[in-house]
Chain A
């Protein structure tokens, strides 16, 4: 049966993988020349390249990676471009791998440039660049900034972060991204956006419909025996839980959202109420 389906695959997959390859060129970095053939990786052989870290790509819907090595004197430059399942997933893996202590730059949907490495996400592509210098203290920030901007212009796709990230209150926000499974470590919250604050964390999970969100809400409520009702959104509860501390989870339409890791359940409910007003 699978072989029959394969008849449809060549057009779709060849196009996708060829595009990632089109975005790769050492010529985008003046002074660098290609040192070897482009390598291709899939879920099957990504371990050969990324070792155990491969799992971190797979949970974000990894579809394939092209890797290019460039050379300039004794220095090497490696550019990896990964195709993820969608733009949200690409932003998700970027955010997970980015340094939360550094700002997110406007490169594609978001990017970071450090002295010897850079990364950004645009559309469904996630790009990582690493310089290996003969002198490890060499600063390549300007060169990398120019390179990622050139690449970002070539790559097609969305240039704005996931819309839901803008719904999180921005005050005291330290980082925000997409968790691909088990938000807050709870299996009921399958995939969602998480914002970390100086104190506590907030989340938003979008279900397909208000009905399915209500069903998940019911399951969540059953998990927290000590929960009491809270007045947030369409329905809500709050609790003081062993591992999630002060927590409040609410439903607003098809969105499940809330706050956790705050000192008290009441504080979580107060913050949740603010979040609820920002969710359309």
Chain B
């Protein structure tokens, strides 16, 4: 184990999380309703060569009782069915798609790729329809495209607020279960988890939540996920690489694997759905099941967090109302990120200029001292001044 000081200021600022992770290292099996076992499996390479044995870890998906490998497969951007087939052959048991992916072509590909293996795996899909009839019609199409009589989990796709989930959508979920078209139901969410997930738990009709979750997120998301797992809800994590595989943010060797291991070793998370497009990515990701998060993994992730810490707002909301000039700090920082994080200057400026005129004209240089203190160490006054200089 490395000391906190070697992990840098981020870890000092996040003592509870460090302790939590340390506990995870010692007790990888714990967690609400989850169990973990290891299985050796001989795998074959695409060319048919025997590779070294793989160790797969299994967990139980909350009260559903479904046993899933802690690394599942997000099929959304997979173009070649051979990768899906190979994943099933390697022993991965959780496969995720959605009606909307590639306008339905993804479900067709996944159904064809799984073929006779369908009943050996847990298969989930989603509907983006916003009413009961539309949702149920989409489910029927999904079943047809996936060549199956039922899906194991059927999600309402991409909800970020209880207000997004109408009663008739819940009726659709319940009806699908009654009709045997979906064994379990849930909601997928990319944002606002601290509000949405507790509501889902309280509602008591959802079996599973599929949530964006990774090492770089606000602790409030983690708390919501812990509470869901404690209540017996199955937790599936997505966006586990923190955007790393797409934009090379996690370019350091071993960083992507460390990010995946962070989630697979999280006691509240049953499985994960990293996107995979090739055989090597697949085999690399499977290795995340081989063992606990190591001190080196911690170091890699902490270094990455330290790198982004002064720049990127985590949207935790703790700065709200603390600016002496009344500026919406998190919003301004987000607009700046559009420009210097994503190269979208025009959008950043457009959003900046849509603020109230007194906010557009405010200047951080007018204050002798900044009253905003970011708990994550974002250099608020410097970043705000940068936004004002660029956009105003």
A18-B346, A187-B281, A243-B86 as given contacts; A44 in contact with B47, CB under 8 Å: no
Closest approach, in angstroms, between the C-beta of A82 and any C-beta of chain B? 13
Q: Which of B49, B85, B103, B158 contacts A47 (CB 8 A)?
A: B158
Decide: B105 and A96 in contact? CB cutoff 8 A.
yes
Q: Which residues of B contact A64 (CB under 8 A)?
A: 344, 347
Q: Which of A52, A184, A185, A223 contacts B101 (CB 8 A)?
A: A52
Decide: A6 and B339 in contact? CB cutoff 8 A.
yes
Q: Which residues of A contact B98 (CB under 8 A)?
A: 51-53
The reply on A103 being an interface residue by CB < 8 A is no
The reply on B55 being an interface residue by CB < 8 A is no
A56-B102, A97-B102 as given contacts; A185 in contact with B279, CB under 8 Å: yes
The reply on A242 being an interface residue by CB < 8 A is yes
In the complex, the chain A residue whose C-beta lies closest to that of B103 is A97
In the complex, the chain A residue whose C-beta lies closest to that of B130 is A132
Decide: B158 and A242 in contact? CB cutoff 8 A.
no
Decide: A55 and B157 in contact? CB cutoff 8 A.
no
Closest approach, in angstroms, between the C-beta of A29 and any C-beta of chain B? 21
The reply on A40 being an interface residue by CB < 8 A is yes
Q: Which of A14, A51, A97 contacts B345 (CB 8 A)?
A: A14
Closest approach, in angstroms, between the C-beta of B142 and any C-beta of chain A? 14
Q: Which residues of A contact B126 (CB under 8 A)?
A: 51-52
Q: Which of B47, B85, B343 contacts A223 (CB 8 A)?
A: B47
How far does the alpha carbon of A2 sit from the alpha carbon of B311 in the complex, in Å?
Answer: 11
The reply on A226 being an interface residue by CB < 8 A is yes
Q: Which of A48, A55, A194 contacts B77 (CB 8 A)?
A: A55
A2-B340, A181-B277, A187-B278 as given contacts; A56 in contact with B76, CB under 8 Å: yes
Q: Which of B45, B157, B277 contacts A182 (CB 8 A)?
A: B277
A residues 153-202 in Cβ contact with B at 8 Å: 179, 181-187, 194
A115-137 vs B: 1/0 string, CB under 8 Å?
00000000000000000000010
Decide: A59 and B346 in contact? CB cutoff 8 A.
no
Q: Which residues of B contact A28 (CB under 8 A)?
A: none
Q: Which residues of B contact A243 (CB under 8 A)?
A: 46, 82, 85-86, 279
In the complex, the chain B residue whose C-beta lies closest to that of A11 is B345
The reply on A216 being an interface residue by CB < 8 A is no
The reply on B149 being an interface residue by CB < 8 A is no
In the complex, the chain B residue whose C-beta lies closest to that of A43 is B342
A14-B346, A42-B347, A225-B47 as given contacts; A51 in contact with B128, CB under 8 Å: yes
Q: Which residues of A contact B101 (CB under 8 A)?
A: 52-53, 56
The reply on A215 being an interface residue by CB < 8 A is no
The reply on A9 being an interface residue by CB < 8 A is yes
B residues 44-102 in Cβ contact with A at 8 Å: 44-49, 74, 76-80, 82-83, 85-86, 98, 100-102
In the complex, the chain A residue whose C-beta lies closest to that of B128 is A51
Closest approach, in angstroms, between the C-beta of A62 and any C-beta of chain B? 10
Q: Which of A9, A136, A225 contacts B49 (CB 8 A)?
A: A225
The reply on A13 being an interface residue by CB < 8 A is yes
The reply on A263 being an interface residue by CB < 8 A is no
The reply on A58 being an interface residue by CB < 8 A is yes
The reply on A98 being an interface residue by CB < 8 A is yes
Q: Which of B80, B238, B340 contacts A52 (CB 8 A)?
A: B238
Q: Which residues of B contact A227 (CB under 8 A)?
A: 47
Q: Which residues of B contact A181 (CB under 8 A)?
A: 277-278
Q: Which residues of B contact A241 (CB under 8 A)?
A: 46-48
How far does the alpha carbon of A17 sit from the alpha carbon of B347 in the complex, in Å?
Answer: 8
Decide: B343 and A13 in contact? CB cutoff 8 A.
yes
How far does the alpha carbon of A35 sit from the alpha carbon of B336 in the complex, in Å?
Answer: 29
Decide: B278 and A186 in contact? CB cutoff 8 A.
yes
Decide: A58 and B246 in contact? CB cutoff 8 A.
yes
The reply on B193 being an interface residue by CB < 8 A is no
A99-B103, A243-B86 are known; give 8 further A-B pairs, CB within 8 A.
A14-B346, A51-B128, A56-B101, A97-B102, A182-B79, A187-B280, A227-B47, A242-B46
What are 6 inter-chain pairs, A to B, with CB distance below 8 A?
A: A16-B346, A44-B334, A44-B338, A51-B190, A187-B279, A225-B49
